[in-house]
Amino acid sequence: MEARPLTLGAEESPWRRLRDAADRRPAATALILIGAAVLVMIGAKGLHAVAQGGLNGLSLGAIYALGAVGLTLVYGILRLVNFAHGDFLTFGAYMAYMVNVTWSLPLVAGIAFAMLATAVLAVFFELIMWGPMRARRAGLLQLLLMSIGLALVIRSALQYIWSTDIRLLDVNTTDTVGFLGLLIGRTQLIVIAVGVVVLVAIGLMLRQTLLGKRMRALADDLELAEVAGIDTRRVIAYTWLFAGALAGLAGVLSASITSLNPNFGFDLLLPIFAAVIMGGIGDAYGALAAGMLLGVITEWSVLFIDARWKIGVGFVVLIATLIIRPQGIFGKAKVV
Amino acid sequence: MPVADLLLPFGLTLDFFTDTGFWVGVGVLAGVYVLVALGLQLNVGFTGMTNFGAAGFMAVGAYAMAILVLKAGFSFWLSLPCAMLIAIGFGLLIGLPSLRLRADYFAIATIALAEIVRIIAQNARGLTGGNQGLFCAEGGAGACYNDAWTSLSSTIEGWFENLGWSDPEALAPLLLAVWLTVVLATLGLRFIQGSPWGRVLRAIREDEDAAEALGKNTLVHKLQSLAIAAAIGAMAGFFLALDLATVHPEDYEPLVTFFAYGVLVLGGLASYWGVLVGGVIFWAVLEGTRFVELPISETQIASIRFFIVGVVLILLMAFRPQGMFGKREEMVLGE
């Protein structure tokens, strides 16, 4: 008898080969799929509606991306699922509120103060909580519950001072700018501009600077980075500074196009988690791209479903990603 | 009363001890959270699953019960087992896709699924009443989901009166019912924990691959653990719905799950009786703060309560992660 190779028929089918090719180039596949979805949407709803939705989504996406990049780096480096990250956003927004409304200074000063204060807050907790806990080799659930405790502490402290009232930053919310037949709020446009500039700067920083490379090295494999002679404690402190400042910025940007209350950061946390997981947990570039994408998807969803369901889009994307592709849309297949 | 002022710190008044109605209410709430934490104990303490969807189990149970009675014409007593089955179905729905995920992903997935339930409750207005919630009309106009319970409750109040309690508190029968359920659930959980099935759960917690290698179907065991927790969570949802006389989306926020975790880790992981003690202490301290007379607003007092919960969680995890009655050697908090 002639020996036949033990292959299953399915492995040779074109479908299987397509899947393998897709797995080898996840980013290209994602782009193709998104492009196809956009074309279908344009066909169904018209170019103008899709472009307007996408433009609206960019401001939300910038906020998600700014929040997600810090959260993903903290996860990658410390294996900490930081449930207090959303409350860093809230903290930043209230710091800006204090400068901008209570002291009547320009919003730019508020943004600068918010980023500084949130960065200091993040490093402070690294020094008194996370560093010592890491030294004790605390487990996953221990750190998870600590971060939930920290979230409650930050939120309740803000609530003690500023109560649960809904507050507004001193920004122009009525002016709109029109171009190419699209309409967008002036503040929203500024949010997009700031977001995009900062996101590009982060991308360059992570790629070009030594600190950025070290952060990514730590996020990839902390022990290997340590063996390679990187001063991990310094890099960890910088990562918290970085994550805190960006969370503060994201909080102010979000508050300037909507409003603030002590819960808003926590409400943003799960969509930000969705962006982190979509981008591949620990992957900073993935988080940037996925954050923008999620913001745009959320706005596009309004073309098809009632706007009151919009809040659920991030959650559904989160679950769908975890079921279909837990390593993230850009990640290579691996066990998670 | 000046004598009391001398004896008690922080301006505590004598009402602290004598306000029975208040403490009966606290006891009901403590019982509800103990039930939720018992389910979490099975998942987290004995199976090693970081389930953060407990509020979702409660919401599914409470909404299913109320909707079955109000919209489908079920009797209250029939709606309870049906709602529990629906909650179990939801538990399995959570488990099937997400149980193969790592613990941290599982935590995020379960909290997201519980939030999806809440968003549906907020927006599917025809079924759930949306942000108004499902509630009982004032003055008994029209039927309500708790009618059957109200009549039973007054019967029990009659028994209390026969026993010599001249003017029983309105919530006293509910207090009795919820703590009776707590004790039965604890005994039941302890019984199954000692069975071969319970030992498999422990084995999964310690080393899932080893349990799998011994021929145990770990996925099925984990799903069963989740299903039992869902059924217990649904019961907690029933009691909360009876206590509040309304089913409202805001009562099932992730905060509820976090508080249940507070009860769980205060009592201690891998100890069922510990959860009962943890629940009583947690709520006695939390609600006791209402009697502290400070010159601050209502919101600020509420903030202080949340602050205390946060600090307790942090300090427990930092200095005594096994809680009051947990065993260090049964700690599953590690990797």
Domain enclosing residue A241, as ranges = 59-262
Residue from A148, A277, A305, A306 whose CB has the most chain B CBs within 10 Å, to mutate: A148
Query: Does residue B330 lie in a domain region?
Result: no
As a whole number, mean pLDDT of residues A231-245 equals 88
Residue A253 banded pLDDT, cuts 50, 70, 90: very high
Query: Does residue B333 lie in a domain region?
Result: no
Q: In B, residues 238-297, which contact A (CB 8 Å cutoff)?
A: 254, 258, 261, 265, 297
Residue A11 banded pLDDT, cuts 50, 70, 90: low
Query: Does residue A255 lie in a domain region?
Result: yes
Residue A102 banded pLDDT, cuts 50, 70, 90: confident
Q: What is the number of domains present in chain B? A: 1
Residue A202 banded pLDDT, cuts 50, 70, 90: confident
**Residue B247, SS3 per DSSP:** strand
Residue A307 near chain B (CB below 8 Å):
no
Chain A residue with the nearest C-alpha to that of B258: A148
Residues A135-176 have pLDDT tens digits of: 888 888 889 999 999 999 999 999 998 888 888 887 777 777
Query: Does residue A270 lie in a domain region?
Result: no
Residues A44-96 have pLDDT tens digits of: 777 777 788 888 889 999 999 999 998 998 888 888 889 999 999 999 999 99
Distance (Å, rounded) from C-alpha A65 to C-alpha A201? 13
- The pLDDT assigned to A40 comes to 81
Residue A150 near chain B (CB below 8 Å):
yes
Residue B109 to residue A81, Cβ atoms within 8 A: no
Query: Does residue B72 lie in a domain region?
Result: yes
Residues of B in contact with A318 (CB under 8 A): 108-109, 112
Q: What is the number of domains present in chain A? A: 1
Bridge partners for A260 per DSSP: A167
Q: How many CA within 13 A on the CB side of residue B1?
A: 9
Domain enclosing residue B189, as ranges = 18-126+144-252
Q: How many CB atoms lie within 10 A of CB A274?
A: 29
Residue A10 banded pLDDT, cuts 50, 70, 90: very low
**Residue B335, SS3 per DSSP:** coil
B334: Cβ–Cβ under 8 A, 6 or more apart, which residues? Answer: A137, A139, A140
Q: In B, residues 142-201, which contact A (CB 8 Å cutoff)?
A: none
Residues B166-221 have pLDDT tens digits of: 777 778 888 889 999 999 999 999 999 889 888 888 888 888 888 888 888 888 99
- The pLDDT assigned to B5 comes to 44
- The pLDDT assigned to B9 comes to 53
- Residue whose token pair is 């025809």: B126
**Residue B293, SS3 per DSSP:** coil
- The pLDDT assigned to A30 comes to 75
Residues B82-111 have pLDDT tens digits of: 999 999 999 998 888 778 788 888 898 899
What's the distance, CA A262 to chain centroid? Answer: 19
As a whole number, mean pLDDT of residues A104-131 equals 92
As a whole number, mean pLDDT of residues A201-210 equals 86
Residue B303 to residue A143, Cβ atoms within 8 A: no
Residue B116 to residue A316, Cβ atoms within 8 A: yes
Does residue A9 carry a pLDDT above 60?
Answer: no
- The pLDDT assigned to B10 comes to 53
Element at B310 (helix H, strand E): helix B298-319
Residues of chain B with pLDDT under 70: 1-18, 136-143, 328-335
Query: Does residue A6 lie in a domain region?
Result: no
Sort strands A182-185 and B246-247 into parallel, antiparallel or unpaired: unpaired
Residues of A in contact with B258 (CB under 8 A): 148, 152
- The pLDDT assigned to B139 comes to 46
Residue B101 to residue A308, Cβ atoms within 8 A: no
- The pLDDT assigned to A328 comes to 76
Question: Do the beta carbons of residue B226 and residue B87 sit within 8 Å?
Answer: no
Here the tokens at position A166 are 């809904």
**Residue B313, SS3 per DSSP:** helix
Query: Does residue B97 lie in a domain region?
Result: yes
- Residue whose token pair is 């819960």: A263
Distance (Å, rounded) from C-alpha B305 to C-alpha B294? 13
Query: Does residue A296 lie in a domain region?
Result: no
> 3-class secondary structure for chain A?
CCCCCCCCHHHHCHHHHHHHHHHHCHHHHHHHHHHHHHHHHHHHHCHHHHHHHHHHHHHHHHHHHHHHHHHHHHHHHHCCCCCCHHHHHHHHHHHHHHHHHHCCCCHHHHHHHHHHHHHHHHHHHHHHHHHHHHHCCCCHHHHHHHHHHHHHHHHHHHHHHHCCCCECCCCCCCCEEEECCEEEEHHHHHHHHHHHHHHHHHHHHHHHCHHHHHHHHHHHCHHHHHHCCCCHHHHHHHHHHHHHHHHHHHHHHHHHHCCECCCHHHHHHHHHHHHHHHCCCCCHHHHHHHHHHHHHHHHHHCCCCCHHHHHHHHHHHHHHHHHHCCCCCCCCCCCC
Residue A146 near chain B (CB below 8 Å):
yes
Residue A189 near chain B (CB below 8 Å):
no
Counting beta carbons within 10 angstroms of the beta carbon of residue B300, is it exposed (0 to 12), middle (13 to 18) or buried (19 or more)?
middle
- The pLDDT assigned to B4 comes to 41
Query: Does residue B297 lie in a domain region?
Result: no
Residue from B307, B319, B328 whose CB has the most chain A CBs within 10 Å, to mutate: B307
Bridge partners for A179 per DSSP: A182
Question: Do the beta carbons of residue B119 and residue A311 sit within 8 Å?
Answer: yes
Distance (Å, rounded) from C-alpha B308 to C-alpha B318? 15
* Residue type at position A65: A
- The pLDDT assigned to B16 comes to 61
Residues of A in contact with B119 (CB under 8 A): 309, 311-312, 315
- The pLDDT assigned to B12 comes to 56
A322: nearest CB among B105, B119, B123: B105
Query: Does residue A112 lie in a domain region?
Result: yes
Here the tokens at position A74 are 């903290």
Query: Does residue A27 lie in a domain region?
Result: no
Residue A152 to residue B310, Cβ atoms within 8 A: yes
pTM recorded for the entire structure: 0.88
- A101-115, A273-287, B283-297: which has the minimum mean pLDDT? B283-297
Query: Does residue B207 lie in a domain region?
Result: yes
Here the tokens at position A193 are 């501009």
- Distances from the Cα of B56 to the Cα of A217, B163, B231, angstroms: 38, 39, 12
A79: Cβ–Cβ under 8 A, 6 or more apart, which residues? Answer: A140, A143, B104
CA distance A80 to chain B (A): 9
Q: In A, residues 1-60, which contact B (CB 8 Å cutoff)?
A: none
Percent residues over pLDDT 70 in chain A = 94
Residue A315 near chain B (CB below 8 Å):
yes
Sort strands B246-247 and B134-135 into parallel, antiparallel or unpaired: antiparallel
Bridge partners for B246 per DSSP: B135
Query: Does residue B300 lie in a domain region?
Result: no
Mean of pLDDT over chain A: 84
Residue A159 to residue B119, Cβ atoms within 8 A: no
CA distance A319 to chain B (A): 6
ipTM (interface predicted TM): 0.87
Residues of B in contact with A163 (CB under 8 A): 297, 299-300
